[in-house]
Amino acid sequence: MLANFHFFTFASPPRFYALAGRLIPWLWAATIALAGAGLYIGFFRAPTDATQGDAYRIIFIHVPAAWMSMVLYMVMAFWAAIGWAFNARLASMVARAVAPTGAIFTFVALWSGALWGKPTWGTWWVWDARLTSELILLFLYLGYMALVNAIDDTRRADQAGALLAVIGSVNVPIIYFSVKWWNTLHQGATISATAAPKMVATMLRAMLLMTLACWAYAFAVVFTRTRAIIVERERDVKWLNEGLS
């Protein structure tokens, strides 16, 4: 049994298609449970902030969305590069499937940031390093999606997309460190690996639960979209037309 197990088994689109199909319902269940718990703690257990009042509760969607926007970009660039380097079909499909989800998290981070900035900073938007580099991230996602859709030859489109995604990935550390490198209006990192959290435990718990919910959501929706792309691309391949219900 173990001797037959091959690490790259799930790099085969038919295997991945079946596995993802089985996982998706559980991922949605996890998303709902984690988001329910996170929202409950965030809105009913976490206390009102002493300086920001209840406006700070935006953090429970803003920070997870911002984290996801950066992580998903790296995931997209990674799989695009793997697909390009090893001509791995599934990797390129996953890269394409990640892009819209990353773009949506980027939009949510920018949107909730604007709605948080107005009551706390007095402005919806400033051209500071953190906000500007996050806006560039949105344009990178949109540019990647436009580019891969504009080229008819699938493999060439994947290669061009991979190039854009890999070059654009320099923006991710710029976003992350922007609050240190420049004197920005945006506050510093909420959670740091080197310092104790500066938050009340309930606030932190709500934020981490919401982050896990976003992870489960991202897996569920990316897997669904990957399955759609597999069907679109392998339409004429025998396995799809046989024995799949």
Partner 1 sequence: MSWGSTAEFFAMGGYALYVWGSFGVAALCMLGEPLMAIKRHRDARAATSENT
Nearer to partner 1 by C-beta: 2 or 50? 50
The sign of the torsion formed by the CA atoms of 132, 134, 135, 141 equals positive
Residue 48 binding partner 1, by CB under 8 A: yes
* Binder among 1, 22, 47, 122 for partner 1 (CB under 8 A): 47
Single-letter amino acid code for the residue at 141: Y
Residues in Cβ contact with 193 at an 8 Å cutoff, skipping those fewer than 6 apart: none
How many residues interact with partner 1 (rule CB under 8 A)? 37
Tell me if 14 contacts partner 1 by CB under 8 A. Answer: no
- Rounded to whole angstroms, the Cα distance separating 213 from 100 reads 18
What are the DSSP calls for 40-81, one per residue? HIIIIISPPBTTTBGGGGGHHHHHHHHHHHHHHHHHHHHHHH
Site mask for partner 1 (CB under 8 A), range 50-79, x = bound: ---xxx-xx--xx--x--------------
What is the smallest separation between the CB atom of 223 and partner 1, expressed in angstroms? 9
Cβ atoms within 10 A of the Cβ of 28, count? 16
**Residue 94 tokens, joined:** 């996953």
Q: How buried is residue 59: exposed, middle or buried, by Cβ count under 10 Å (0-12/13-18/19+)?
A: buried
Q: Which is nearer to partner 1, 48 or 87 (CB)?
A: 48
Q: How far is the CB of 231 from partner 1 (least distance, A)?
A: 4
- Binding string, 83-122, against partner 1, x = CB under 8 A? -----------------xx--x--xx--xx--xx-xx---
* Pairwise CA distance, residues 203 & 46, whole Å: 5
Subset of residues 216 to 235 that bind partner 1, contact rule: CB under 8 A:
217, 220-221, 224-225, 227-228, 231-232, 235
Nearer to partner 1, 5 or 44 (CB): 44
Distance CA 76, CA 74 (A): 5
43 binds partner 1 (CB under 8 A): yes
What are the residues binding partner 1 (CB under 8 A)? 43-45, 47-48, 53-55, 57-58, 61-62, 65, 100-101, 104, 107-108, 111-112, 115-116, 118-119, 217, 220-221, 224-225, 227-228, 231-232, 235-236, 240-241
